[in-house]
Amino acid sequence: MKQIVFGDSLKLPQTIVGCMRLKDSGMRGKELLRFVEECLDLELTAFDHAPVYGGYECEKIFGEAVLKKRPELRRKMQLVTKAGIVLPGIENNQVIYYNSSKKEIIKEVDNSLKKLGTEYVDLLLVHRPDPLADPAETADALEQLVRSGKALHVGVSNFTPSQISMLQSYMSISLATNQVELSVKNVENFFNGILDDAFIRRIPLMAWSPLGGGSVFTGMDEQSVRLRNVVGQIAKEHGTTMDAIMYAWLYVHPVRIAAITGTMNMSRIKTAVEGQSIVLSYDEWYRILAASRGFHVP
């Protein structure tokens, strides 16, 4: 299993198990425990969470089935979670909003630790940039959580380069990553400075929705049809599946990208791992890029 180093010491597999759809999967109890054990046997040791996933239920479902039943598994895994999104009704609010205040971040982390059944998370991310945030206060919250041992490393999610610079300027510890949307369907973040910023900071990226929501397989919009034709042909040439090629398209990038799966289906997770062993040529990578954008580079 290929690994990527985040921060100064956090080693995560290049394929990370995303738990956003855990509630919807219907997986519970012993079935979920078996799933996690199988992931660990495959060296898929990192699990990505957030308080808001499943309407605040996914972390609890995971904790009750896994770490509260077999706490010894904690030392074999890495847990990623986030903070800073408040769903409607939680604070008598009418709309969803972002809240990166110190009080909110610390409260959410404490709740996540209780639900997950752990004393710490390996990586904590600010889930979304909050336009009302005081960066000094957000930075203080993150550093306090690291000092207390509740978060071993911290980073951000969906931040622009300038937003990362702003937050980092108030911190004495380095942000470990930026988790952003990256896929053959969504290539904007390859060209808007986010990858350049990651190279400058020497940090790897985490990609959410690495299959672009699945529309490449069935969508009838022009982009999906183009991608289906090109990715399908390249998959045929490699003797593999379209999704393995789409993962490989991310893995090959030298910035170092860890992909977060969006499924609890083990066969599809294994396909994501298969993508690590596929080496795409420059020509293949650019063929897919052209299919996504609808034009070749000049």
The pLDDT > 90 percentage for the chain reads: 100
Query: What would be the CATH architecture of the domain defined by 179-298?
Result: Alpha-Beta Barrel (3.20)
Compute the half-sphere exposure of residue 203: CA atoms within 13 Å on the CB side of its CA.
23
Mean pLDDT of 227-244: 98
Q: What average pLDDT is seen over the chain? A: 98
pLDDT tens track for 165-212: 999 999 999 999 999 999 999 999 999 999 999 999 999 999 999 999
> How far is residue 72's CA from residue 13's CA, in Å, rounded to a whole number?
20
Q: How many other CB atoms are found less than 10 A from the CB of residue 172?
A: 8
- Residue 97 is predicted with a pLDDT of 98
Concatenate the DSSP letters of all residues of 168-191 into one string.
HTT-SS----EEEE-SSS--GGGT
Q: Where along the chain do its domains lie? A: 179-298
- Residue 223 is predicted with a pLDDT of 98
- Residue 286 is predicted with a pLDDT of 98
3-class state of residue 222 by DSSP: helix
Residue partners of 238: CB distance under 8 A and separation at least 6: 244, 245, 278
Q: Which residues are the active-site residues? A: 53
> How far is residue 62's CA from residue 66's CA, in Å, rounded to a whole number?
6
Concatenate the DSSP letters of all residues of 103-141 into one string.
HHHHHHHHHHHHHHT-S-EEEEEE-S--TT--HHHHHHH
Give the position of tokens 């992909």: 259
pTM (2 decimals)? 0.97
- Residue 5 is predicted with a pLDDT of 98
